[in-house]
Structure 1
Amino acid sequence: MESRIQKTLENHRKGYNCAQSVACAYCDLVGLDEQSVFRATEAFGLGMGGMQATCGAVSGAVMLAGLKNSCGDLEAPVSKGKTYQISKQLVEAFQKKNGSLVCKELKGVETGCPLRSCNDCIADAAELAEQILFAEK
């Protein structure tokens, strides 16, 4: 797969929030159309609905993990454990690289000292999604 990191940044420049920027760039790889993914990730922006909590970029990558790995079996949801492992791998790698998962910490809202810009967080989440979720094995 050719890298889509630039596509995630283009999405952000168009006005997509951080979660939308990441998730929409890879939606075809999980069998969904862009508008559906755009709508589903809208509330994740600015750290979960503007609460400056979990970074939207990593939230978008975690959503992709579920969409890619879930068995989708409503009667026997046996894929949860593996999906949680994949999500944990994404989240831990993002936190290690950026020093936090929290939007307001990443932006330096309280300290005045940002750890990462939104564009950097988007690029990092996209890179991790490509490495962990979409790498050809």
Structure 2
Amino acid sequence: MSTKVEKALELHDKGYNCAQAVACSFCEEFGVDQETMFKISEGFGFGMGMMDMCGAVTGMMMVIGMDNSIGNLENGKATKADTYKKTKEFAEKFRQKNGTYYCRDLKGVSGKGNVVPCSQCITDAVELTEMYLESVK
């Protein structure tokens, strides 16, 4: 288990939602303070509060966006398509591993697939995020 996974699971145990746990475990890499990331990602937990896209996956997408975007405020389209491509690729990797990326399915509410605990979703999302970051070095 990587130290990032350990950190994310510790944050989740402290009450951070899945998106917060994943995104906040990568704050140092991007010079973002944890409180700011905590606030930004709060609405993404519990499948954006609607048991939709898994919070761990959206936390992963936030980190990919932080890494891939050039932050060109004058040309918002500069890296958008490439970022979408990368987030789609890694969301698909998560889906392949867990059967879905929807919170309601992962939690067994929809009656589809196997129940996957939040701790496993967080672990998988952090590991995929690490894989992404390693691939772009």
What TM-score do you get using the length of structure 1 for normalisation?
Answer: 0.91
Give SS of 2:32's match: coil
* Aligned residue identity for 2:104: K
Match of 1:4 in 2: 4
> Matched residues in 2 for 1:59 and 1:80: separation?
16
> Matched residues in 2 for 1:76 and 1:136: separation?
23
Number of residue pairs aligned between Structure 1 and Structure 2 = 135
How high is the sequence identity, in percent, across the aligned residues?
45
How far is the alpha carbon of 1:125 from its aligned partner? 0.2
How far is the alpha carbon of 1:36 from its aligned partner? 0.2
Match of 2:75 in 1: 76
How far is the alpha carbon of 1:33 from its aligned partner? 0.6
Matches within 5 A, 1:1-137: 3-49=3-49, 51-77=50-76, 78-111=78-111, 114-134=114-134, 137=137
How far is the alpha carbon of 1:86 from its aligned partner? 1.4
How far is the alpha carbon of 1:10 from its aligned partner? 0.4
* Aligned residue identity for 1:95: R
How far is the alpha carbon of 1:28 from its aligned partner? 1.3
Q: Deviating runs (4+, > 4 A) in structure 1?
A: none
Q: CA RMSD in A?
A: 1.7
- Is the contact between residue 47 and residue 55 of structure 1 (CA under 8 Å) also seen in structure 2? yes
Structure richer in helix, relative to its length = 2
> Matched residues in 2 for 1:33 and 1:134: separation?
22
> Matched residues in 2 for 1:81 and 1:7: separation?
31
In structure 2, relative to structure 1, the CA distance for the partners of 1:124 and 1:34 (3 Å cut) is: same
How far is the alpha carbon of 1:80 from its aligned partner? 1.1
In structure 2, relative to structure 1, the CA distance for the partners of 1:96 and 1:3 (3 Å cut) is: same
In structure 2, relative to structure 1, the CA distance for the partners of 1:113 and 1:18 (3 Å cut) is: same
Consecutive unaligned residues of structure 2, counting only runs of 5 or more, are none
Identify which range, 103-112 or 36-45, moves more after superposition: 103-112
- Is the contact between residue 98 and residue 115 of structure 1 (CA under 8 Å) also seen in structure 2? no
How far is the alpha carbon of 1:116 from its aligned partner? 0.9
- Is the contact between residue 107 and residue 113 of structure 1 (CA under 8 Å) also seen in structure 2? no
- Is the contact between residue 99 and residue 113 of structure 2 (CA under 8 Å) also seen in structure 1? no
Measured against aligned partners, the alpha-carbon deviations of 1:66-108 in whole angstroms (never above 9, x if no partner) come to 1111111111231112211211121010010000111010010
